[in-house]
Structure 1
């Protein structure tokens, strides 16, 4: 099963498969069990040019089924073998399992890890993000990775007006204490079928403020539930968006994130892997 984040912008991808972005998204997944082989073939092509790869962008790279299938681990193994740089964002402490791969890659400037932390409130987290690791587990995992030399950052995401927005400073402080050296934030995004699903979630869990939340969301999105423009979809526009940006800038300065970046990736170490062959290797 998928993690059940009520706000997940990946939900509409199920609609492309004639499945519902609601219950089907939460109960049916498609595992690309040959992903590591496909990746190896792509990296082995003579025309391939190294560019950092991002894992966990559409859905989390550490879904519950990863404990059994280990697809993310196998992908990282291919990247490690090829000395190929990548970044990863997750809500799950299962990433600690792969520290034996991540730490050596970090020493060669080949990996960055971000933890998405929406709230420090366990009760709210369990309602917003069922099956994701509890906030304190993510912070503990981040600390372990950081202590092992892996560059760790935090994404306060998504920022939901009148739900978790008051926690921005607290999340950045907790992440700093756990070893994070970079920070960012992203506003709530409600594309396509996600908007009515999130409205239902608000009515179920926060009916007293549901109208206020959606009214503010629409103020941020030019009167709509969502604005897909690249320059607007992550930050929004208007008074609330400006105030949030100022708060983030002040908090970043206070907790030591201002102007800090993870070390740049090293693109010079790439070793083109050999494509898999049914005849095996002679040498």
Structure 2
């Protein structure tokens, strides 16, 4: 059958992806078709399945000039939040799974992550710098409530006095305010809460298992009230769909207690583009042509430009307008983010059994 000729899955209720497109590494495609027998069949509902992985290492390194960190950890592969625009979807292809429904239903947890993290931080060759969490998949997605891998990783970072930057859409982060506030008192943590739209219906359609925008703003408020520096992440800005809300998002974040803000243009790498267009045509058919025209306008006529320096912000008049609006609104609202850098001088591996005791 033709590659990527897909019928939307009628049983993917509560999910963003409408199909399970195979990855770029697969030679053959698959699709559901009517066999012509005209027999009613109750197809199984797409449910979440969690597998366990025991990696050899947990700290991932990067040298990208587009991001302000060189290391990160990911407690989970895949993400039940199911955001249709998620640029991490293509990573599921490396597992032989689909970046579509598989990405948001066939999840992989790494229960040994905290122990691996502690071991790697104790290495004599380790040089401390800010650890990023949530830059690929969300550490506070629903399965974290049971797995508690992220909380245990935070406990390790706290015990080592290691600085960390966290990005999430999950209100479950409020569970860890006790650890985060303790780390904040030593200037060891920053948090970014991603809010893409203030429209609950739009949010439900494109990020179906993420807490409502109103609820995420309340999380900003609760973190800020606990003394935890938190910024609002307007990410991604979706041209023709959510871009008109930029100033309103920043105002809402400021009112909730955010000290700073950030934005990222919609990115559609690899398998994300066909999945997003399939969803867009089904969810907002009257806006689909306009949205994709604006997306191409922001990426030199293409659906995505992966070049460093362009992929996060886009190029051209439209992208420049978004950047200008963002800067003006942040200036008006005082969202400058003028705070001291996270501390690295406090880093100390805690004592463990067998260590030689200090004489002083």
Give the TM-score taking structure 1 as reference length: 0.95
**Aligned equivalents of 1:44 and 1:281: distance in 2?**
12
Aligned counterpart, 1:267: 344
Do structure 1's residue 165 and structure 2's residue 243 form an aligned pair? yes
CA deviation profile, 1:184-237 (whole Å, cap 9, x unmatched) = 100000000000000011101111111111111112112211111120011101
Q: Provide the rounded CA distance (Å) in 1 between the counterparts of 2:129 and 2:343.
A: 10
Superposition misfits of 4+ residues, deviation over 6 angstroms? 280-283
Counterpart secondary structure, 1:37: helix
Give the Cα separation in 2 of the matches to 1:25 and 1:263.
37
Q: Which residue of 1 aligns with 2:293?
A: 215
Q: CA RMSD in A?
A: 1.5
Structure 2 CA distance for aligned equivalents of residues 72 and 175 of structure 1 = 25
Separation (CA, whole Å) in 1 of partners of 2:146 and 2:248: 34
1:282 Cα deviation after fit: 9.7
Residue in 1 aligned with 2:93? 15
Query: Distance between the aligned counterparts of 1:99 and 1:263, measured in 2?
Result: 21
| 1:156 aligned counterpart, secondary structure | strand
Shift of 1:263: 2.7
Question: Distance between the aligned counterparts of 1:56 and 1:234, measured in 2?
Answer: 16
CA contact (8 A) 1:77 1:101 kept: yes
- Partner residue of 1:143? 221
Structure possessing the higher radius of gyration over alpha carbons: 2
Alignment map for 1:174-189 (pairs within 5 Å): 174-189=252-267
Could you list the runs of 5+ residues in structure 2 that have no partner in the other structure? 1-47, 49-79
Match of 1:37 among 115, 119, 134: 115
Q: Shift of the alpha carbon at 1:274? A: 5.2
Aligned to 1:225: 303
Q: Are residue 249 (structure 1) and residue 327 (structure 2) matched?
A: yes
Instruction: Please say if 1:200 is aligned against 2:312.
Output: no
Q: Which has the higher helix share?
A: 1
Q: Which has the higher contact order (CA 8 A, sep 6+)?
A: 1
Note if contact 1:40-1:273 (Cα within 8 Å) is conserved in structure 2.
Answer: no
Partners of 2:177 and 2:312 lie apart in 1 by 30
Q: How far 1:51 sits from its partner (Å)?
A: 0.6
Q: Distance in 2 between matches of 1:62 and 1:203?
A: 29
Q: 1:52 aligns with which of 130, 133, 154?
A: 130
Q: What is the aligned partner in structure 2 of residue 82 from structure 1?
A: 160
Distance across 2 between alignment mates of 1:264 and 1:190: 32
Q: CA deviation at 1:264?
A: 1.2
Q: Output the CA distance in 2 between the equivalents of 1:32 and 1:225.
A: 33
Equivalent of residue 131 in structure 1, options 192, 199, 209? 209
The TM-score with structure 2 as length reference comes to 0.75
**Paired residues, what number?**
279
Note if contact 1:43-1:273 (Cα within 8 Å) is conserved in structure 2.
no
Q: CA deviation at 1:273?
A: 3.8
Contact 1:182 1:262 in 2 (8 A): no
Give the C-alpha shift of residue 262 in structure 1. Answer: 3.5
